[in-house]
Amino acid sequence: MIQPTGQVSAVVFDLDGTLVDTMACILATYVGTIRLLGGPDVTTEDILSKFHIGPTRVVLEHFLGRPILADDLECYFAAYQQAITGLQPFPGVMKLIEELRHAGYRLGLFTSATRRAALLVLATARLDRFFEIVVGGDEVVHPKPASDGLELICRRLGVRPSETAYVGDALVDLECAIAVGALAIHARWSGAAGIQAGDHVIAERPADILAYLESVERGRSDETARAS
């Protein structure tokens, strides 16, 4: 069993593909917005291949080949807000977050999406009341797998990375957590492929996360009892 390097007191989540299934909405919004703003005809595959380069402004600038204006961003976010109407969390996510909060874990969210997009999604999916701290990709210099954002959210939560679990569906999420000494948990329920076994915990469904953390805590309690 992979053990966290310290007692976990905070759980930080990625957003897209981890808490909510928004990828199709995001890709379609980029394709439509780029076309509407006079850019080239791109496919969702084109967008996906450049998705890692940064938040919304950076991706739009790449495909449009020019600086992005405030009106351009408003165009994107208006289309995105419409695209996510009725969005729901993945099955089991709401229950997991409620149980984690009830168990006393500090909760945060670090996403590659912009803070504005993240807050839109959280509000639409009725998850906005759960997270003490939200950090977007536009609030850090280096995108994942760099650990800047995870370190920032740990500081704002007042916890050490070694006391933190980071839950994500992508390899960059896991690499980000491992780089800073946090417990990396792969949210496999999203169906993301291509991630091999490694120095991370695998959660097939949201309930597996709390079960794992509880099992680790029981193990610590047993060790303390044997030592006394």
Two tokens at 206?
Answer: 């949201």
pLDDT at residue 227 tops 90: no
Listed by start position, the domains of the chain span 10-21+88-227, 23-83
> Residue 58 — φ and ψ, nearest 5°?
-65, -45
Whole-number pLDDT of residue 51 = 83
DSSP string of 153-202, one letter each residue: HHHHHT--GGGEEEEESSHHHHHHHHHHTPEEEEEGGG------S-SSEE
Name the CA radius of gyration of the chain, rounded.
18
What are the tens digits of pLDDT across the range 51-96? 888 889 999 999 999 999 999 999 999 999 999 999 999 999 999 9
Q: What is the domain class of 10-21+88-227 according to CATH?
A: alpha beta
Candidate from 22-26, 46-50, 69-73, 197-201 with smallest mean pLDDT: 197-201
> Residue 201 — φ and ψ, nearest 5°?
-85, 145
Output 131 or 218, whichever has higher pLDDT: 131
Q: What is the pLDDT of the chain when averaged over all its residues?
A: 91
Residue 87, beta-bridge partner list:
none
Two tokens at 224?
Answer: 């303390």
Whole-number pLDDT of residue 198 = 76
Question: Tokens 């990709």 correspond to what residue?
Answer: 137
Contact 170, 190 (CB under 8 A): no
What angle do the packed helices 171-180 and 148-157 form, to 10 degrees? 60
pTM of the predicted model, to two decimals? 0.89
Percent of the chain with pLDDT over 90: 82
> Residue 63 — φ and ψ, nearest 5°?
-80, -30
**Domain 10-21+88-227 matches domain 23-83 at the CATH topology level:** no
Whole-number pLDDT of residue 3 = 47
Q: What is the domain class of 23-83 according to CATH?
A: mainly alpha
| Ramachandran sector of residue 53 (left: φ over 0; alpha: ψ -120 to 50; beta: rest) | alpha
Whole-number pLDDT of residue 218 = 77
What are the tens digits of pLDDT across the range 87-135? 999 999 999 999 999 999 999 999 999 999 999 999 999 999 999 999 9
